[in-house]
């Protein structure tokens, strides 16, 4: 799935993506044609602006022309950006969600490099985080053929082209830059489950109802306060968390103050290590799991970000094929 489109009342996916590209292309083409019809009228009105008003269009006609031009221009601008973006996604063979995954993975790699290649995982486990290439970018032409369902360029523009079959949406060709069996997306320590659920390793807190002695109004107020704290905790920038961690290691913060400042809940394993490392979020504080994305973990060797053309050249050299 790429995203849900309210304008087409449907999900843009492997089967409907070619239709969505055609929809954007013909919508932009139609609005360009409409603008071509509006421009002579606007130009004539502007050139005759010094003539008496009764020689020109009525106030209602002027208002209609102005609103139509404004709406057409704004919509054309927005859909043109969307069309260009989706053509780029088609060229690199990524969906909207995969683009977020790539950005999140790069963020985790940058953080891991600061801590020597490791981040805190559940139950105090140190997880190795290293760079992994996006596996489904198989070259621009191959990406276009796969995304549009055919190598016939004329068929890409045919409005009545058939919908792609769902049988082709389960397995996709990979570029072979990673080891066989490597999965995408790469691991995120914050998405791995604990061996022991929170609270079960602490008898004093397991199955404890903290609001037992509060009235109904106080219970609601306490719940809303926890909601606000949780919203702040989930959106705490990594830089603030890192600063708090450094201050704590130097002995500048008490444990409770560190938990509040750093954004962690008091969730420690037997070795005292905090469980969970904050992963990537978008500008609204949402995680990929909020969109129903399930992620597997696979470990890999780190390598600097290398352009696809260079990786293809290396692969051909290893296979002994001419470039």
Mean pLDDT of the chain: 75
Q: What is the pLDDT of residues 90-115, one digit of tens each?
A: 999 998 888 888 888 888 888 888 77
Q: Which residues are catalytic?
A: 5
Mean pLDDT calculated for residue range 257-282: 43
Stated pTM of the model: 0.60
If you count them, how many residues does the chain have? 323
- DSSP 3-state percent helix, strand, coil across the chain (nearest 5): 50, 5, 45
Task: Average the pLDDT over each of 67-71, 98-102, 164-168 and give the range with the smallest value.
Answer: 164-168
Residue 297 has pLDDT above 60, yes or no: no
Sign for the CA dihedral angle at 221, 222, 225, 231 comes to negative
272 or 66, higher pLDDT: 66
**Domain residue extents for the chain:** 1-92+139-172, 236-266
Q: How confident is the model at residue 302 (pLDDT cuts 50, 70, 90)?
A: very low
What pLDDT was estimated at residue 278? 43
178 or 91, higher pLDDT: 91
Rounded Cα–Cα distance for residues 201 and 225 (Å): 26
Q: What is the pLDDT of residues 18-30, one digit of tens each?
A: 999 999 999 999 9
Q: How confident is the model at residue 263 (pLDDT cuts 50, 70, 90)?
A: very low
- C-beta of residue 100 within 8 angstroms of C-beta of residue 282: yes
Q: Could you give phi then psi for residue 118, rounded to 5 degrees?
A: -130, 150
Residue 286 has pLDDT above 50, yes or no: yes
213 or 27, higher pLDDT: 27
Q: How confident is the model at residue 291 (pLDDT cuts 50, 70, 90)?
A: low
Residue 144 has pLDDT above 90, yes or no: yes
Task: Average the pLDDT over each of 190-199, 211-220, 301-310 and give the range with the smallest value.
Answer: 301-310
Rounded Cα–Cα distance for residues 259 and 58 (Å): 68
Q: How confident is the model at residue 53 (pLDDT cuts 50, 70, 90)?
A: confident
The Cα-based distances of 120 to 28, 77, 258, 264 in angstroms read 48, 44, 16, 12
What pLDDT was estimated at residue 141? 93
- C-beta of residue 241 within 8 angstroms of C-beta of residue 262: yes
248 or 138, higher pLDDT: 138
Q: How confident is the model at residue 289 (pLDDT cuts 50, 70, 90)?
A: low
Residue 299 has pLDDT above 50, yes or no: no
Rounded Cα–Cα distance for residues 158 and 179 (Å): 39
Q: How confident is the model at residue 161 (pLDDT cuts 50, 70, 90)?
A: confident
Mean pLDDT calculated for residue range 209-218: 75
- C-beta of residue 184 within 8 angstroms of C-beta of residue 320: no
What pLDDT was estimated at residue 298? 35
What pLDDT was estimated at residue 205? 54
Residue 152 has pLDDT above 70, yes or no: yes
Mean pLDDT calculated for residue range 250-260: 54
What pLDDT was estimated at residue 154? 92
DSSP 15-71: TTHHHHHHHHHHHHHHHHHHHHHHHHHHHHHHHTTTS-GGGS--HHHHHHHHHHHHH
């Amino acid at each position: 799935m790429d995203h849900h489109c309210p304008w087409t009342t449907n999900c843009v996916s492997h089967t409907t993506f070619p239709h969505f590209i055609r929809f954007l292309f013909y919508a932009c083409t139609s609005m360009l044609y409409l603008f071509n019809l509006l421009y002579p009228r606007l130009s004539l009105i502007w050139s005759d602006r010094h003539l008496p008003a009764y020689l020109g269009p009525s106030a209602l006609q002027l208002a209609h022309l102005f609103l139509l031009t404004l709406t057409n221009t704004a919509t054309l601008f927005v859909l043109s950006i969307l069309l260009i973006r989706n053509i780029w996604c088609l060229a690199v063979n990524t969906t909207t969600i995969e683009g977020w995954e790539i950005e999140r993975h790069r963020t985790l790699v940058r953080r891991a490099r600061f801590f020597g290649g490791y981040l805190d995982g559940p139950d105090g486990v140190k997880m190795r985080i290293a760079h992994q290439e996006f596996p489904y970018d198989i070259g621009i032409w191959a990406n276009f053929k796969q995304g549009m369902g055919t190598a016939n360029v004329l068929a890409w523009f045919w409005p009545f082209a058939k919908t792609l079959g769902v049988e082709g949406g389960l397995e996709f060709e990979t570029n072979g830059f990673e080891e066989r069996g490597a999965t995408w997306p790469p691991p995120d320590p914050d998405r791995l489950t604990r061996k022991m659920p929170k609270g079960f390793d602490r008898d004093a807190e397991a199955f404890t109802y903290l609001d037992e002695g509060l009235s109904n109004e106080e219970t609601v107020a306490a719940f809303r306060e926890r909601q606000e704290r949780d919203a702040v905790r989930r959106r705490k920038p990594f830089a603030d968390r890192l600063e708090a961690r450094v201050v704590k290691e130097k002995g500048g913060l008490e444990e409770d103050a560190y938990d509040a400042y750093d954004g962690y809940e008091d969730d420690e394993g037997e070795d005292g290590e905090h469980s969970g490392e904050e992963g990537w979020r978008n500008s609204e504080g949402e995680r990929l799991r909020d969109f129903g994305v399930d992620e597997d973990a696979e470990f890999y060797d780190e390598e600097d970000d290398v352009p696809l053309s260079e990786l293809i050249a290396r692969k051909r050299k290893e296979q002994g094929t001419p470039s």
